[in-house]
Amino acid sequence: MRVVYWAKLALARALITERLKSLDGVDLVVANTLPELLAALPGAQALILYDAPHSEAEVVVKALADPTSTVRWMHFITAGREGFESAGLPKNIAITYAAGAVSPAVAEHAMAMLLAIGRRVPDMLIQQAERKWDRAIGLKAFSLEGLTMLLVGFGHIGRELVPRAKAFGMKVNCVSRSATPEPMLDKVYALNDLHEALNTADVIVIAIALTEQTHQMMGFKEFAACKKGSVLINIARGGIVDQVALREALESGQLAGAGIDVTDPEPLPADDQLWNAPNLLLSPHYGGGGSPESLRRLADGTVENLQRLMQGVPLHNIVVT
């Protein structure tokens, strides 16, 4: 079977390439660029790839829609597929994705940002650089014990966050599309009750997928509904948060702090005013990195589904188009 791997990102690239090359019956072509990918597609049955910007995704989707295309399976190594979904995922191809593979690392990153804000780590570093000993920064510190975390979204990342938050003595509520009660959660709200839920939370963690419904769902009205002095953590997608509203909420003190691993656009332009927002921690979208276990899960999921395709048995983690 001819398999094309569009290895445009470093995420798990070496391990996935090694594992795919070791499979019997696989003719692997590793494409690093879009032209290389397009040149390799004729005669291929499988395409393994990462998400891409809309303009690139559109070119790939057009090639797959060609009547001569033989590709019958696409597997996304990234959890997100926004670029391809905006271009229109092919309807005649089985599509799967790496469900939850990096969720533990992302949950850990969310807790790291929250702890850094609560224990005033940025202020510590400033004082350390100035060789200054001032215990007054401790007056602004807070502990997680006894606080309420609100998860906006309850997918793989949300499920990984619950035990981590509860280990610090937090109460964990959730807003979800299904509003289905969960034993591990203290309370579940429907999306329509977002404002009510926000008003009960000391910490809000955005962990929901970006869709037309969730685009900029955290705006001026939502930040006004938050408990004053609460903290926002966004480890989902930048487009879910109105960044102008976020900046104003930080400047006014409505939010005591925010930690974001994602922005809209990415990378955040150097002249964007969000850089100047007070009490903001901004990491360049690497929350899922740093875990060998995540890389192993990404490779395992890719190889297992390819083997299932070759054996003609149902695939795991199918994307509904």
Q: Please name each of the domains of the chain with its CATH number.
A: 2-101+291-311 (3.40.50.720), 103-282 (3.40.50.720)
Element (H, E) at 84: helix 82-87
* 34-76 per-position pLDDT tens digit: 999 999 999 999 999 999 999 999 999 999 999 999 999 999 9
3-class secondary structure, 165: helix
Active site residues: 237, 266, 285
Q: How far is 55 from 60, CA to CA, in rounded Å?
A: 9
| DSSP letters for 177-232 | SS----TT-SEEEEGGGHHHHHTT-SEEEE-----TTTTT-BSHHHHHHSPTTEEE
Residues 188-242 pLDDT 10s? 999 999 999 999 999 999 999 999 999 999 999 999 999 999 999 999 999 999 9
Q: What angle do CA 227, 228, 230 make, to 5 degrees?
A: 70
DSSP code, position 66: S
- Indicate the SS3 state at residue 72: coil
Indicate whether 321 pLDDT > 90.
no
Please calculate the CA angle 292-296-300 and round it to the nearest 5 degrees.
175
User: Do 264 and 243 contact (CB within 8 A), yes or no?
Assistant: yes
Structure tokens belonging to residue 255: 């939010």
Going by C-alpha positions, the residue among 236, 103, 96 that lies closest to residue 159 is: 103
- In this prediction, residue 45 carries a pLDDT of 98
Q: Which residue has tokens 């807070």? A: 142
CB neighbours of residue 220 within 10 Å: 14
pLDDT tens track for 295-309:
999 999 999 999 999
Q: What does pLDDT average to over the chain?
A: 96
Can you give the pLDDT at residue 91? 87
Residues 6+ apart with CB under 8 A from 57: 51, 83, 84, 86, 87
Is the predicted pLDDT of residue 246 greater than 90, yes or no?
yes
* Distance (Å, whole) CA 88 – CA 73: 15
